[in-house]
């Protein structure tokens, strides 16, 4: 229940299905009043909460006066306004409070009293319907003014002198939010999603009403004010009043499921060959590469065997065919043999390899 920290014992809450709605703290709105003292007083003695509204859900307003409050006046007047319309008012008397200490009252809706009976209209949250149809600008401005207080329930408590009991017809005939659609321009920049509407009249207990009372502190100086702003769940998330539900992380996907049909067939063939020991296309490629390496090795060996060595110590004028000699003839030299076992090549002098293709 909403409670002002400096005035314990006076409480209010919005209920659905008999249970109070969860409340979310928020800052008070700026007070619009010409008198600075009034603005300061109302801003200090007001507490504001957000509650979640669900379309077509009936709601009630629970008021409580607990024994923790020290009542120092003959009467406390409590007024309930829904979307800017006064729908209910009730007086708490010091004489009753001194006897019972804990008083509670459930406001079910605006009452209408006749000479024979008293009825009330149940309150419910109704979704605000919007349209994109073209409308005149004056109609837009009219709807903006009409909806300026929609989405808010205000409860004010005043200290009063004791009045005179009367039994008259009630003036609280709340009509609720107009059901017609409004243009989207009307709600531009606003998070309003619901307004209050009233159902068919129901029988209510007949009570004695008091009038001709005097405000001890003045009508602009309530003892305390409670404001409830009702919004849809999505609107509360957009306003960051309640956290958004994090989206679940996607489950890890099987890499095999990401392959195309062709890739799956190839992968299955490779897996089967590994199990059965049969060759696959990959094995053939490896064998071909190995065969290619052997061919290259053979060609290199033959080129080496056909190389000639030119003795640079021979006179250039000497055309002796000895200046070009084969070093090897299909003979390989083992470079790992010991020095004493190596063949004597000292007679060859300085030499270089002559490319046979040249």
Domain that holds residue 335: 283-358
CA-nearest of 214, 224, 216, 215 to 9 is 224
Q: Are 324 and 220 within one domain?
A: no
Give the span between the Cα atoms of 13 and 2, in whole angstroms. 6
254 within some domain: no
Q: Are residues 39 and 159 in the same domain?
A: yes
Q: Is residue 352 part of a domain?
A: yes
Instruction: Round to whole Å and give the CA distance between 136 and 141.
Output: 9
What is the structure's pLDDT at 252? 73
Rounded distance, CA 94 to CA 76, Å?
A: 8
Residues 195 and 290 both lie in one domain = no
Q: What is the dihedral of CA 153, 27, 19, 57, to 10 degrees?
A: 50
pLDDT at 12 over 50: yes
Do 23 and 127 have their domain in common? yes
| Domain-located, residue 266 | no
Same domain, yes or no, for 27 and 175? yes
Spatial distance between the Cα atoms of 6 and 125, rounded to a whole number of angstroms = 31
Residue 124's pLDDT is 93
Task: Compare 243 and 146 and report the one with higher pLDDT.
Answer: 243
Same-domain check for residues 9 and 98: yes
In terms of Cβ atoms closer than 10 Å to its own Cβ (0-12, 13-18, 19+), residue 15 is middle
pLDDT digits (tens, 9 = 90+) for 62-97: 999 998 999 989 999 999 999 988 999 888 889 888
CA angle at 8 for the pair 1 and 61, rounded to the nearest 5°: 30
**42 part of a folded domain:** yes
Same domain, 42 and 162: yes
At 328 the pLDDT is 46
For the cut 70, the answer to whether the pLDDT of residue 107 exceeds it is yes
- Considering its fold, how many domains does the chain have in total? 2
Both 219 and 322 in one domain: the answer is no
| pLDDT beyond 90 at 292 | no
- Same-domain pairing of 201 and 308: no
Q: In Å, how far are 116, 156, 189, 350 from 146, measured between CA atoms?
A: 34, 21, 16, 113
Q: Name which residue leads in pLDDT, 183 or 195.
A: 195
């Amino acid at each position: 229940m909403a409670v002002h920290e400096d005035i314990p014992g006076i409480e209010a809450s919005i209920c659905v299905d008999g249970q109070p709605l969860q409340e979310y703290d928020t800052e008070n709105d700026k007070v619009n009043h010409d008198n600075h003292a009034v603005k300061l007083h109302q801003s200090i003695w007001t507490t504001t909460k957000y509650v979640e509204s669900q379309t077509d859900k009936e709601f009630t307003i629970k008021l409580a006066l607990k024994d923790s409050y020290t009542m120092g006046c003959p009467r406390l007047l409590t007024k309930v306004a829904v979307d800017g319309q006064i729908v209910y008012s009730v007086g708490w008397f010091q004489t009753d409070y001194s006897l019972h200490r804990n008083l509670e009252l459930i406001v079910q809706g605006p009452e209408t009293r006749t000479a024979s009976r008293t009825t009330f209209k149940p309150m419910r949250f109704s979704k605000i319907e919007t349209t994109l149809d073209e409308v005149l600008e004056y109609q837009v401005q009219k709807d903006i003014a009409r909806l300026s207080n929609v989405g808010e329930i205000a409860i004010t408590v005043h200290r009063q002198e004791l009045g005179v009991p009367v039994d008259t017809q009630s003036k609280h005939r709340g009509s609720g939010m107009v059901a017609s659609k409004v243009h989207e321009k009307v709600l531009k920049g606003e998070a309003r999603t619901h307004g209050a509407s009233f159902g068919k009249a129901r029988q209510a207990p007949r009570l004695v009403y008091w009038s001709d009372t005097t405000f001890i502190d003045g009508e602009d100086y309530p003892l305390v004010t409670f404001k409830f702003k009702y919004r849809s769940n999505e609107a509360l998330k957009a306003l960051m009043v309640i956290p958004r539900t994090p989206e679940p992380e996607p489950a890890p996907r099987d890499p095999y499921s990401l392959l195309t049909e062709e890739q799956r067939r190839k992968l299955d063939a490779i897996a089967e060959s590994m199990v059965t020991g049969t060759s696959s296309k990959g094995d053939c490629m490896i064998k071909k590469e190995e065969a290619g390496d052997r061919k290259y090795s053979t060609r290199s060996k033959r080129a080496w065997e056909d190389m000639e060595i030119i003795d640079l110590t021979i006179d250039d004028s000497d055309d002796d065919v000895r200046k070009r000699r084969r070093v090897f003839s299909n003979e390989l030299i083992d470079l790992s043999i010991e020095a004493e076992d190596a063949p004597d090549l000292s007679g060859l002098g300085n030499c270089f390899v002559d490319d046979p293709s040249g």
